[in-house]
Amino acid sequence: MICGHCKQRPANVTVTQVQNDQKVERYYCEICAAQFHPFQFEVSEEPVSIQQFISNWMNFLPASTTKEIKQATEKKTTNCPTCGLTYRQFLKQGKFGCENCYETFNAQLPQLLERIQAGTKHVGFKEQTISIEKIKHQIETLREQLQQAIVAEYFEDAAKIRDEIRLLESKVYSGGEGQL
Amino acid sequence: MNIEHFLTNANPGWMKNEDGSDIVISTRIRLARNIAGTRFPNSFTEEEAQGIEDQVMNALFSIEQNPYHFSYFPIKDMPQLQRQILVEKHLISPNLAKRKKIGSVFITEDEAFSIMVNEEDHIRIQCLACGMHIEDAFEKARKIDRYLSRHITYAYQERYGYLTSCPTNVGTGLRASVMLHLPALTVTKQMNALIQMMTRLGMVVRGIYGEGSENLGSVYQISNQITLGKSELDILQELRDVVEQVIRKEKSARKALLIRAPSTLEDRLSRSLGTLKYAKILTSEEAASCLSNVRLGVSLGLLEPISQSRLNECMLLIQPGFIQQYVGTTLQPAERDMYRAKLLQDKLSEQDESVNNGEKGEDSI
């Protein structure tokens, strides 16, 4: 038998690994085997990935619920409209494909998150994205009004609207670049 | 700042502030973020990847009031050895190092901050700090996060918080880790029970040199598992509580060792220093375990003083990537073991400024 790594020298070292409860035996020559110690950085070879581990773990359900989920997923295999992911694919890889997956699989999520998280609701710092979106929208509307005011030659109103826009813009960009 | 700066320096700026804690080595904070409106890296196209990179680059480079000076490195341009060194320095993940096309990293000069782009998530902000500085490192990472959020709209939902590719990061996107040197708990075989206890408390325990290296050099990394359903401050506080408890246990285990077998202990630690000083061939395992013993010996006052930062530097240097960078060529494992021994001897015989002031580890018992 030749070495499974260099494929040149005869294999005389047997390496036994346990991956996901399955015994895997590999045969190497002494020279290649010496390289397989914990510090070795093997980019080409995928280690037992934490992803796989997590996905196995998330897959672990009591028999009855597994059945239910199977039935549920078989009945209607919903694909995420943005990235095309199915819930089954998600369980396999342990990762979502896009932010919309959280909407698409909203029904299955609480059950999943309860197992791996402390709750199903975010209680940390709140992101201001929504209000920024709102402000930007507000600015757009004000701009239109400003145009109308200028066309109608209501310059006093126009000045007021302009100041208002500036104020909102400074909120969005906190005094940074002054343009949209 | 060119890449050589980051490859040759085993003693980056963030490692220089010592705070006398010889059990806690370092703290790391990581925030996972994604940009709204673009699919996650596991399903996006190359164009989308480029779009993300451009957005982050614009935010970090184009605005005058940016207080941070980042250097930018696309992974695809890097030779294997360079990637390996950045992994060994914990500046990028092994996952990013494997990429052929997509992915890049932004690093500050002192290496305290690094931002990985298009790894598992679009943006991963990392802050490293020496010693136990959980809240401080978090505040710093959050500042960068707030800065980016002014230029980038994050994928965020009221209900689930920051949306991430893996649901184990969703919510706060926060992973805080503390790296601890626990030789006395390891040698008295208390670690397994402790790891089980910490797992029940929602913590993950790992070795520093990646998975499967749990025992190497008795260095462990403890981090939070939960990211959703708890606030950032609670997550940090819980980690702090667990870490402080572990530190107390390590201290009492050290005391017990000193009382029970003082001469055996002193002999063992002194032998390790002897090995580091005079051995001609050192495997990474042996070097890691000798360094661990020397660190313990210094902190117990049984060995001549060596500064923490010198020991931290040695811990980085014994890794294969660093040795090959130092020699300037790729080496077979057996050759590496010889250069490792030489490199360590050079490092340990250098003048140690901080020790000349007569300082000693404050944690010595």
Please tell me which residue of chain A has the smallest CA distance to B94: A43
- pLDDT at residue number B353: 52
In sequence order, the 6+-apart residues with CB closer than 8 A to the CB of A136 are A172, A180
Residues of B in contact with A130 (CB under 8 A): 158
What pLDDT digit, counting tens, does each position of B36-79 carry? 999 999 999 999 999 999 999 988 886 666 778 899 999 999 99
Residues of A in contact with B161 (CB under 8 A): 122, 124, 127
Task: Work out the number of other CB atoms within 10 angstroms of the CB of residue B222.
Answer: 22
Q: What is the 3-state secondary structure (H, E, C) of B41-103?
A: CCCCCHHHHHHHHHHHHHHHHCCCCCCCCEEEEEHHHCCHHHHHHHHHCCCCCHHHHCCCCCC
Helical axes B134-149 vs B232-260, angle rounded to 10°: 150
Cβ separation of B63 and A176 shorter than 8 Å?
Answer: yes
- pLDDT at residue number A180: 39
Partner residues linked to B30 by β-bridges: B126, B175
Note whether B160 contacts A: Cβ–Cβ < 8 A.
yes
Task: Work out the number of other CB atoms within 10 angstroms of the CB of residue B199.
Answer: 12
Residues of B in contact with A117 (CB under 8 A): 167-168, 170-171, 226-229
Report how far residue B282's alpha carbon sits from residue B342's, in angstroms, rounded to the nearest whole number. 9
Distance from CA of B102 to the nearest CA of A (A): 16
Q: Classify the phi-psi angles of B189: left when phi > 0, otherwise alpha if psi is within -120 to 50, otherwise beta.
A: left
Residues of A in contact with B212 (CB under 8 A): 38, 47
Higher pLDDT, B11 or A68: B11
Specify the range with the lowest mean pLDDT, choosing from A107-111, B170-174, B229-233, B358-362: B358-362
Q: Work out the pLDDT band at B133, boundaries 50, 70, 90.
A: very high
Over residues B99-116, mean pLDDT: 94
B residues 190-249 closer than 8 Å to A (CB)? 202, 209, 211-213, 216, 226-232, 235
What pLDDT digit, counting tens, does each position of A129-143 carry? 555 666 777 788 889
Note whether B98 contacts A: Cβ–Cβ < 8 A.
yes
Residues of A in contact with B159 (CB under 8 A): 121-122
- pLDDT at residue number B362: 43
Partner residues linked to B223 by β-bridges: B177, B204
Q: Which of B154, B164, B235 sits opposite A127 (nearest CB)?
A: B154
Q: Which of B80, B155, B167 sits opposite A99 (nearest CB)?
A: B155
Q: Which of A113, A124, A133 sits opposite B167 (nearest CB)?
A: A113
Cβ separation of A174 and B150 shorter than 8 Å?
Answer: yes
What pLDDT digit, counting tens, does each position of B254-296 carry? 999 999 989 999 999 999 999 999 999 999 899 999 999 999 9
Among A178, A78, A128, which Cα is nearest to B36's?
Answer: A128
Distance from CA of A146 to the nearest CA of B (A): 26
As a whole number, the mean pLDDT across chain A is: 75
Residues of B in contact with A132 (CB under 8 A): 153
Report how far residue A166's alpha carbon sits from residue A133's, in angstroms, rounded to the nearest whole number. 16
In sequence order, the 6+-apart residues with CB closer than 8 A to the CB of A114 are A120
In sequence order, the 6+-apart residues with CB closer than 8 A to the CB of A91 are A55, A58, A59
Cβ separation of B334 and A34 shorter than 8 Å?
Answer: yes
- pLDDT at residue number B239: 97
In sequence order, the 6+-apart residues with CB closer than 8 A to the CB of B297 are B266, B269, B270, B272, B273, B303
Q: Is the dihedral of CA B352, B354, B357, B362 positive or negative?
A: negative
Report how far residue B49's alpha carbon sits from residue B38's, in angstroms, rounded to the nearest whole number. 9
Cβ separation of A41 and B320 shorter than 8 Å?
Answer: yes
- pLDDT at residue number B358: 43
Place of tokens 């494992």: B333
Distance from CA of A17 to the nearest CA of B (A): 12
Q: Which amino acid is at B82?
A: Q
What pLDDT digit, counting tens, does each position of B201-249 carry? 999 998 776 555 556 889 999 999 999 999 999 999 999 999 999 999 9
The torsion angle over the Cα atoms of residues B40, B44, B46 and B49, rounded to 10 degrees, is: -20
The torsion angle over the Cα atoms of residues A122, A125, A126 and A129, rounded to 10 degrees, is: -120
Q: Enter the pTM of the model.
A: 0.76
- pLDDT at residue number B336: 94
Distance from CA of A150 to the nearest CA of B (A): 31
Report how far residue B194's alpha carbon sits from residue B249's, in angstroms, rounded to the nearest whole number. 10
